[in-house]
Amino acid sequence: MKLRVTVAIKLAASFGLCAVLFIGLAAVGYRTTSTSLEQAGWVDHTHQVLTDLAKLLSSLQDAETGQRGYIITGLEDFLEPYKAGLAQEDVHRKELVKLTADNPNQQRRLEALEPLIKERLALLLQGIELRRTNDFAAAQKFVTSGTSRKEMDETRKLITAMKDEEEVLLKKRDAEAAQSAITTYWTLGLLALGGSLFTVIIGVLLWRNIAVPLQGLTGVAERIALGDLTASVATEERHDEVGVLTQNFQRMTQWLQSMAVVAGKVSGGDLRVQVTPQSERDVLGNAFAEMVANLRRLTTEITESVNVLGSSASEISTSTSQLAASATETATAVSETTTTVEEVRQTAQVASQKARFVADSAQKASQISQSGKKATEESAAGMNRIKQQMDSIAESMVRLSEQTQAISDIIASVDDIAQQSNLLAVNAAIEAAKAGEQGKGFAVVAQEVKSLADQSKQATAHVRTILSDIQKATSAAVMATEQGAKAVETGVRQSSQAGESILALANSVTEASQAAIQIAAPAQQQLTGADQVAKARESIKQGSGQNFAGAKQMETATHNLNELGQRLKQLVQRYKV
């Protein structure tokens, strides 16, 4: 199997080489730099040795100075440099030993230096001790003896020798350093140049291999993005990603072109195309397939709907014409009701007026009935008074009757007396008859007695007739009184009835008045209602007129709809399903 050199591998290789180059460069640089550093370090080392040597010397000098000062002054303060020098001397010497461990010469010298320094210091100390014992002269003498000078010179000599050697070393090392620096510069420069050249070459190769095809593809993609599907890519037999990309681009372009063809057909009205998606995830293909299917379905539905629309439009048209006709009828009917409404209105007006009039009359009648009620009450009171009078009359009549009865009794007794007298007379006559002749005188007496009895009887009869007349009159009066009383009662009852009737009348009049008021209000409302009805009628008329206009509009709209349906039909027919 042929190794597919992918772009990744190429890139990796290129970058790897570059990396190797960089690493090499870095290594070289590191090496030279470390060398330089080392050399610099040696230089620095040498400088340090020199410094230390100087310091050592100075410390020795400080000690001496301190000693001398003390010797001169005798003050402990002036021993400070001495003490410092002592300490530092030791330190510096040890340091030097450490530093010059690599240089045997220097080590020898240092070893030789050590005792000298020791001795020097001992001498110094001696001097100090002498002075301490406040022996200035001795100390002075000591100093001037110059015993310490020799050690000092030796020391100095050694130190100087050390210094010289170190300086020689320094020079040598400096030269080496310079030389190595130059070497480094050259090496690095050459390497850098070579490396960059290499990198440039590789870059160019890569560019040609990858970037150029990609540019081509980019151009094609741009054109495709703009919609120009005529762009095509030159196919190469490459097996890396770019080649694959190119192939896929080609396939994609072909696919888009096929889609474009399908779209063109669909736009042309041929819905019979079949779209097969490339895969399940082919969004565009699926969408197109769905779109075509939907369009087909939609077109069939629209065709059906258009048919329905056509029929409906015709139906609407007929209904609209019917509506227009009925609107005209409504308008005529409304105008017919004009007169009726006017009459109703007038009637309502009249009713309202009449109701108000009735209300006023009822009010007056109510007042009159109130006064009538008062009059009835007065008449009832008068009737009661009359009744009382009648009752008193009846009582008088009763008394009269009783007295008449008494008179009658008296008359009866008188009559009885008369009868008895009569009997007596008869008896007397009988006795007189029995007596015969002697009884004639007695017979006359008897006769007189009888005539007396007769007179009494006549008188009695007369009185009785008078009495009966009186009785008749009395009874007539009593009857009349009773009748009068009854009449009065009747009158009272009637007047009370009249009073009640008047009251009832008053009530009913009040009710009538209220009813009239109640009638008056609705009558007024009726009037306003009639006005409103008239207005409503007007608005109905307007409305029906508008209805008519609307029906006309609807007619035209239906006509338009019909035409629209026809046009839709034509449009839909263009699409072949």
Partner 1 sequence: MNEQKPRPVGPDKQKILHERAGALARAPVQEKADEATLELVEFQLAAERYGIESVFVREVYPLKQLTLVPCTPPFVRGLINVRGQIVTVVDLKRFFDLPQQGLSDLNRVLILNAPGMALGLLADAIIGVRQVPAAGLQPTLSTLTDARASYLRGITADRLVVLDAARLLADPKIVVQEEVEN
- In the complex, least distance from residue 478 CB atom to partner 1, rounded to whole angstroms: 24
Q: Burial of 240 by CB count in 10 Å (0-12 exposed, 13-18 middle, 19+ buried)?
A: middle
Q: Is 461 in the site for partner 1 (CB under 8 A)?
A: no
**39 within 8 A of 30, measured Cβ to Cβ:** no
Q: Which stretch binds partner 1 (CB under 8 A): 297-305, 371-379, 425-433, 504-512?
A: 425-433
Q: Which of residues 394-423 bind partner 1 (CB under 8 A)?
A: 410, 413, 419-420, 422-423
* Position 281 contacts partner 1 (CB under 8 A): no
Q: Which of 134, 183, 235, 427 forms a contact with partner 1 (CB under 8 A)?
A: 427
Considering only 345, 450, 457, 464, the residue that binds partner 1 (CB under 8 A) is: 450
CA dist 236 and 114 (Å) reads: 88
Q: Is 433 in the site for partner 1 (CB under 8 A)?
A: yes
How far apart CA 510 and CA 361 sit, in angstroms, is 10
Instruction: Single out the segment in contact with partner 1 by CB under 8 A; choices: 162-170, 175-183, 444-452, 501-509.
Output: 444-452
Pick between residue 217 and residue 418 the one whose CB is nearest to partner 1: 418
Cβ pair 513, 363 in contact under 8 A: yes
Task: Please state, in angstroms and rounded to a whole number, the distance separating the CA atoms of residues 297 and 300.
Answer: 5
Q: Which two tokens stand for residue 346?
A: 């007038």
Nearer to partner 1, 298 or 435 (CB): 435
Least separation, in Å, of the C-beta of 416 and partner 1? 8
Instruction: Report helix, strand or coil for 576.
Output: strand
- State yes or no: residue 451 binds partner 1 (CB under 8 A): yes
Angle at 300 between CA 297 and CA 304, to 5 degrees: 135
Quote the least distance from Cβ 472 to partner 1, whole Å: 23
Of the two residues 318 and 465, which places its CB atom closer to partner 1 in the complex? 465
Task: Check residue 458 for interaction with partner 1 (CB under 8 A).
Answer: no
- Choose the stretch contacting partner 1; rule: CB under 8 A; options: 2-10, 122-130, 391-399, 432-440: 432-440
Query: Rounded to whole angstroms, how far apart are CA atoms 93 and 58?
Result: 12
The single residue among 294, 455, 465, 490 that binds partner 1, judged by CB under 8 A, is 455
Give phi and psi for 270, each to the nearest 5: -90, 105
d(CA 183, CA 173): 15
Residue closer to partner 1 (CB basis): 268 or 441: 441
Nearest distance from C-beta of residue 426 to partner 1, angstroms: 5
Q: Which of 2, 98, 281, 434 binds partner 1 (CB under 8 A)?
A: 434
Tell me the site size for partner 1, rule CB under 8 A.
19
Q: Among candidates 59, 282, 259, 26, which has minimal Cα distance to 155? A: 59
**Closer residue to partner 1 in complex, CB, 160/455:** 455
Closer CB to partner 1, 166 or 415, in the complex = 415
Q: Choose between 92 and 450: whose C-beta lies nearer to partner 1.
A: 450
Task: Identify the burial level of 137 via C-beta atoms within 10 angstroms of its C-beta, where 0-12 means exposed, 13-18 middle and 19 or more buried.
Answer: exposed
Q: Which of 46, 49, 48, 79 is nearest to 62 (CA)?
A: 79
Please check whether residue 378 is in contact with residue 543, taking contact to mean a CB–CB distance below 8 angstroms. no
For the segment 35-74, give every residue that binds partner 1 (CB under 8 A). none
- DSSP H helices in 100-211: 104-132, 136-145, 147-206
Determine the interface stretch with partner 1 among 25-33, 246-254, 448-456, 496-504 (rule: CB under 8 A).
448-456
CA distance linking residue 59 with residue 81, whole number of Å: 8
The two three-digit tokens of residue 382, written as one number: 């008068």
Residues near partner 1 (CB under 8 A) are 410, 413, 419-420, 422-423, 426-427, 429-430, 433-434, 440, 444, 448, 450-451, 455, 459
